Structures are given as C-alpha cells and as structure tokens.
C-alpha cells in the first residue's frame, strides 16, 4: 500500500507545465460551456487566457493556438513533437480508418 501511495505521489509531483485555461466539469470537461458558436467561444477564451491555452473536452486535453504566428512556429519549428499523435476515434471514423489523404505522412 505504501508503494502505491509513493508512486501516486511521484506521479502528481511530475506535472507537465501546461498553458492556462478554463476549468471544466469532471468527465465532460468544458464541453457544456462551448455553446452553439464554438469559434466565438474559442475567441473569447483566447482574449482571457492568451494566444495559447488548454481546454479539456471530455477526458481529452487540448492545447489551442489562436495566433497565426504562433501556429506557424508550432507547425514549422516543432513539427517532430506533434507529428506522432494518435488519431481520435472520430478522425478514424471520418477518414476511412486513417487512410484519408489528411493522414498521409
């Protein structure tokens, strides 16, 4: 039991520093607060938290970038860090199992 609590304490102490963002509800995250016009909600959140912020939707954590120059830097300069992401279930469903041109290397 003490080994389990020590490992849990170690996991909690090694948190990754994430950008700021709104708090969501357990299990659903910020999903109930998005509203009908998601792009307007994202713009309002960017005005509050800055050009890069985190947002949880369900059990997934997203980092949103609302600045074109910052997006270019992430996509161009740090492409290796973001190239090896697993596609979501929705992306697999709409892309014929990840075989769509959007998922080509």
Backbone angles phi, psi at 30, to 5 degrees: -95, 5
* Closest-CA residue to 21 (of 9, 40, 51, 8): 51
Within 8 A by CB and 6+ apart from 5, the residues are: none
List the domain boundaries for the chain. 18-65, 67-105
User: pLDDT tens digits for the chain (105 residues)?
Assistant: 444 444 444 455 556 788 999 998 888 989 889 889 999 999 999 999 999 999 998 888 888 999 999 888 888 887 777 766 777 777 777 777 766 666 565
pLDDT value of position 48: 95
- Between CA 60 and CA 28 the distance in angstroms is 9
């Amino acid at each position: 039991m003490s080994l389990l609590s020590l490992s849990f304490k170690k996991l909690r102490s090694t948190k990754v520093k994430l950008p700021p963002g709104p708090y969501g509800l357990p299990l659903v995250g910020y999903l109930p607060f998005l509203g009908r016009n998601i792009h307007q909600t994202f713009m309002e959140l960017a005005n509050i938290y800055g050009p890069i912020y985190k947002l949880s939707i369900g059990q997934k954590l997203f980092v949103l970038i609302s600045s074109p120059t910052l997006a270019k830097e992430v996509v161009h300069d740090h492409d290796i860090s973001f190239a090896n992401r697993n596609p979501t279930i929705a992306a697999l469903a709409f892309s014929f199992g990840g075989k769509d041109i959007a998922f080509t290397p």
